[in-house]
Structure 1
């Protein structure tokens, strides 16, 4: 869908509610196309909608069986929403405070529930 303005994504709200504007996990590609800005590159490449990963700057929407199952970015220190999304980064704005202890502290201050898991790396014999 074409919008005449950028959509603001508030990361504090995302962490608190799981909502990414009006997006929620489980929404279909069709629903996203009708309720959210078109992904980057869609004007030039109509096959973009057939792909399982849609890009908005360096943010990614991942689909499995045409349903949204992951909102992801590899670039936490350089978050960008591309031409469609304006990002309100909240405590993610200060790059010097993106260590795990700082993020956990901020989540606690904001009363945002979370679970920290420690992954066990497999060992080769």
Structure 2
């Protein structure tokens, strides 16, 4: 009995992936994604009950809100630090020579709740 690996494969060589990171969609990928979303909205609008208000979808997806996963095997992996960042749309497989986006700033700590009357902050 063979033990076949299942799951994502390395983008470069198709070996079982051990790491993944994200990259922005290419212009063609993003255009196709927006066209698919617009087609879905058009169909939903066409099928909507005319006696009800038309569907409200909000704005179409933005490029900055969409990423695609890239997978790497043990031979084509990137570092943990690099994997935690969003890479450029041209980053498709190691060796990664793009400049990933900086990590987002951490959310500020909320101000502590005020102490009940009579308590001190000693």
TM-score (norm 2): 0.31
Which has the bigger relative contact order, CA under 8 A and spacing at least 6?
2
> 1 or 2, which has the higher strand percentage?
1
TM-score (norm 1): 0.31
Is the radius of gyration larger for structure 1 or structure 2?
2
